[in-house]
Structure 1
């Protein structure tokens, strides 16, 4: 999982929309650092829970996510227009459960559409420290 900063609710980064060439590189350039190193958070595995912190988050930042299925290398974006098309429609791979909680579908074409392959909850009010976000 990579969390990155976007400019608006459409996912634009420096004028690039999620479905435009160069968007993946722009997102990687805006990725938040993970406390402990790197810019990605590994999933804890089936049925397990984990916690990670990202740094450099400022008040007012708009945070987006990108998921890579390490089993097959497929990459999915929070913005469906950046994902694959099936039947002429872009496939959504992210579902909001409310309370800053999202579920990912990790298979091409929408998989089984259960949106529980990785559950992410962001804690925006943590007392963990300044500039940190717990994911």
Structure 2
């Protein structure tokens, strides 16, 4: 397994870190809320709501990242070390993105989001 493939797993795990923050940061999530967790999550405010939003964004971006890593590996034109470095940089950008989302640093979060998307696109260019 390459470092980049492990990074795909880490990206998916980061999504669930956000889920834990969203559901349990305010101490109100319990067995009763688990019967309809989407309604519970839709009613969150503040930090927990931002954690939920970070979770949703992670669910949106992870397929693109996974596809980029897999395609770069299949095409085989890119140096494996380059793919690994790009993947680690993407994970770093996602961690910073989540921190910025939780801290409510909107402008910095958006800048980091663009950088992360640029990293996803770069997998395709290094594979040419």
Highest relative contact order (Cα 8 Å, sep 6+), 1 or 2?
A: 2
Q: How high is the TM-score relative to the length of structure 1?
A: 0.26
Q: How high is the TM-score relative to the length of structure 2?
A: 0.27
Q: Which has the higher strand share?
A: 1
Q: Which has the higher helix share?
A: 2
